[in-house]
Structure 1
Amino acid sequence: MRRRSPKATVDPDPRLERWETWAELPLLGASLIFLAGYAVHVLVPNGALFVHDAGLIAVGVTWLMFLVDYLVRYRLSRLRLHRFVRTHWLDTIVLVLPLLRPLRVVKVNTAIQRRGGRARLGLYTRVITYASLTAVLLGFAGALTVYQAERDAPGATILTFGDSVWWMAATITTTGYGDVTPVTPWGRTIAVGMMICGVALLGAVTGSFSSWLVQVFTREDEKDGAPGE
């Protein structure tokens, strides 16, 4: 019998790595502009018309930047669409829900190092720093989204942005006081996502801190047990 030859792998275009290195930092700035524009849209619904329109324009323009980046990555990857979506699932989720772009903060650090910089922080410090930054950005984005979904809902307990921030802080830290809770399907969906993110981020921080402590105590034990001391 004739054996089937293994499926050939497709090498990405060499320009892909250069594009990712060049685009990641501008896209980080675009994500912050997106978040600011969305905040204006949510928090100033009845304000000056030009302010509200400026927020919407910022959201639309920056989202188009994310779409262009996604299409360029897909084109340069030389993969079929279904395989690209499967192997770049985080990029796909972020394109659909741009408020989740803080999850790409580690890739931003990678892009900085590719540009010639060196990581000045230790591994465990970086993990804690990235997890904290991700929690703050995701928490702010989640608070905005929940406030927009809940503020006009019948029977809502989240009536102000302050209520939403308080609820988000209790949720993402897995505290869950229960004094204010979302009542809409979209608000509860966001709540589930924030709970998952909160557990993951808390696990990353506590795991890194525990590993660092183990290394510190191990070094101390080795010093104490060294001969001649």
Structure 2
Amino acid sequence: MDESTWHKRTQVPLMVASLAYLVAYSWRVIADLGGTPRTIATAVIAITWSMFIADYLVRLMLAEHRWQWFRKHLGALTFALIPVLRLVHLLRFLTRVPGMRPSAAGILRTQIIVYGAGAAVVLIYLSSLAVLEAERYAPDATITSFGIAIWWACVTVTTTGYGDYTPVTDGGRWVGVGLMFGGVALAGIITATLASWVLERASRTRDDEEPATRAQVRELTALVAQLRAERDGGRDDRPEA
């Protein structure tokens, strides 16, 4: 079995595992489980996470050129480390508008915006769970409920930083660091995408000011040469007077 076949066969099971991971983690943190229910939720989290790690390692082993595959599939590594990000793939249907045939650049921009927004939602939700679990029972903690955790995550990911709620534990602060870097990266991607769209819209009304590319010059030169050849051939075929 090659790597691509393995990947196709495991997509649906891993999507289900990703959803199970999210449900179990949410249940454990929001419900503040203890005893047997917490053990069950933790076991589900560990099993599903190990499935993603195993899938990544198997794909790496099945690849013909492993180092090259590793460099080209950094996204797969991200999915293995943060399993619930795979759920962002479920937004795929939002990138397809029936009856429309946008350009390749338009399709790419739509995918970036949809997937970026989905990743932002997942990032905020996961960070809220993580910071709440780290802060809930810490001395002098201010992030003690899921609602406060969501508010803190939204403020942090946008780099607003009101300062009304702040983590006091090392774990909570590391969650904040990751959330800030993730927010800056997503904001940069979405901003660049919107800038690309604006430039494309502006260039549509200024085609006469755009410089010709080398490919366009070569095509025009070839067309002129073809027309000259046809003209000269027509002259040679004429009978002499």
TM-score, structure 2 normalization:
0.70
Note if contact 1:31-1:98 (Cα within 8 Å) is conserved in structure 2: no
Aligned runs of 1:141-220 on 2, under 5 Å? 141-220=126-205
Q: What is the CA-CA distance between 1:168 and the residue it aligns to?
A: 0.3
Q: Which residue of structure 1 lines up, in the alignment, with residue 108 of structure 2? A: 123
Q: What is the CA-CA distance between 1:53 and the residue it aligns to?
A: 4.2
Note if contact 2:19-2:87 (Cα within 8 Å) is conserved in structure 1: no
Structure 1 runs (4+) greater than 4 angstroms displaced: 83-86, 88-94
Structure 1 residues 132 and 93: CA distance shift in structure 2, 3 A: closer
Distance 1:44 1:163 in 2: 15
Q: Which residue of structure 1 lines up, in the alignment, with residue 221 of structure 2? A: none
2:6 to 19, 27, 31: 19
Letter in 1 for 2:28: H
Q: Answer yes or no: is 1:134 the counterpart of 2:119.
A: yes
SS of residue paired to 1:20: helix
2:43 to 53, 57, 64: 57
**What is the number of residues matched between the two proteins?**
198
1:36 to 23, 30, 34: 23
Q: What is the CA-CA distance between 1:15 and the residue it aligns to?
A: 0.8
Distance 2:143 2:16 in 1: 30
Gaps of 5+ in 2: 98-106, 211-241
Identify the range of structure 1 (70-79 vs 152-161) with the bigger mean alpha-carbon deviation. Answer: 70-79
Q: Which residue of structure 2 lines up, in the alignment, with residue 4 of structure 1? A: none
Q: Answer yes or no: is 1:98 the counterpart of 2:82.
A: yes
Q: What is the CA-CA distance between 1:173 and the residue it aligns to?
A: 1.7
Structure 1 residues 180 and 85: CA distance shift in structure 2, 3 A: farther
Considering fraction of residues, name the structure with more helix. 2
Q: What is the CA-CA distance between 1:43 and the residue it aligns to?
A: 1.5
Q: Which has the higher contact order (CA 8 A, sep 6+)?
A: 1
Letter in 2 for 1:219: R
User: 1:145-190: per-residue Cα shift (whole Å, max 9, x none)?
Assistant: 0000011111211111111110001111222211111111111111
Note if contact 1:42-1:144 (Cα within 8 Å) is conserved in structure 2: yes
SS of residue paired to 1:176: coil
SS of residue paired to 2:205: helix
1:74 to 47, 57, 60: 60
* RMSD after superposition: 3.1
Note if contact 1:16-1:73 (Cα within 8 Å) is conserved in structure 2: yes
Letter in 2 for 1:65: M
